[in-house]
Amino acid sequence: MPPIPELEEIRKAQILDAGLLTLTRKGAAGTTLDDVCKAAGLSKGGLIHYYKTKKILFSAVFREFFTRIFTRSADTMSQFDLPLDQILSYDWLYDTDDPQIRLGYPLLLDLMSLAAHDEDYRMIMEEWINNWVKLLSAALEKAIEQKTFKPMDVTDVARSISAVYQGIATRWYLGKDTHTRQWALDTYRKGIMGVLSPFMA
């Protein structure tokens, strides 16, 4: 009997959701395919039909989560009319009560660790960074068109803004006792405005 496409998509989503929760809880080093099978309520054969190795599954889990984050980011930015407000719209990155944030940081830090030693994971990390740069570049280009920002190397400036966000987020997440949410909110705004100040019209 040929596979039913709708059922295939449901099964994949079920496995990816189980993978997200298991990787967040146990980390990449501590997660086995059996752990994900158990969380998904599937047999190992059922899981391997879709994801033949741990690495293939983990890569799919990282990409799925990042797709969700970028969809949310684009939706959040679209709520603001002014490009500068769009660029500064990432307060939610520093909210530990947010379910996506509770999932996101352990996954991101796991990916960074894996990427340090594995070219395939490094490519996923590069995709993550490049997608942030694209989102921010679109807002910068809009600001230049509106003449609120002077001409600039949009990609270079977007990379700098992305680095500010990521650096502050990592410090906040790993050291919340000394790097509070308020510190993160104040510092990312100061840092980004510092990057942008030479280009303000």
- SS3 of 69-130: the string is HHHHHHHHHHCCCCHHHHHCCCHHHHCCCCHHHHHHHHHHHHHHHHHCCCHHHHHHHHHHHH
Does the pLDDT of residue 46 top 90, yes or no?
A: no
109 and 153 inside one domain: yes
Residue 16 belongs to what domain range? 1-52
**pLDDT value at residue 1:** 45
181 and 108 inside one domain: yes
For the segment 78-108, what is each residue's pLDDT rounded down to a tens digit? 999 999 999 999 999 999 899 888 888 999 9
Q: Model-level pTM?
A: 0.89
Does the pLDDT of residue 160 top 80, yes or no?
A: yes
114 and 136 inside one domain: yes
Query: Which domain CATH number covers 78?
Result: 1.10.357.10
Query: Can you tell me the mean pLDDT for 56-69?
Result: 94
Contacts of 146 (CB under 8 A, 6+ apart): 83
69 and 165 inside one domain: yes
Q: Of 5-19, 21-35, 172-186, where does mean pLDDT reach its minimum?
A: 5-19
Q: Cα–Cα distances in Å, from 26 out to 19, 68, 76?
A: 10, 21, 30
16 and 64 inside one domain: no
38 and 115 inside one domain: no
15 and 66 inside one domain: no
Cα–Cα distance measured from residue 91 to residue 35, given in angstroms and rounded to the nearest whole number: 33
Number of domains in the chain: 2
3-state secondary structure of 149: strand
Q: Cα–Cα distances in Å, from 187 out to 132, 167, 183?
A: 19, 11, 6
Does the pLDDT of residue 6 top 80, yes or no?
A: no
Does the pLDDT of residue 9 top 90, yes or no?
A: no
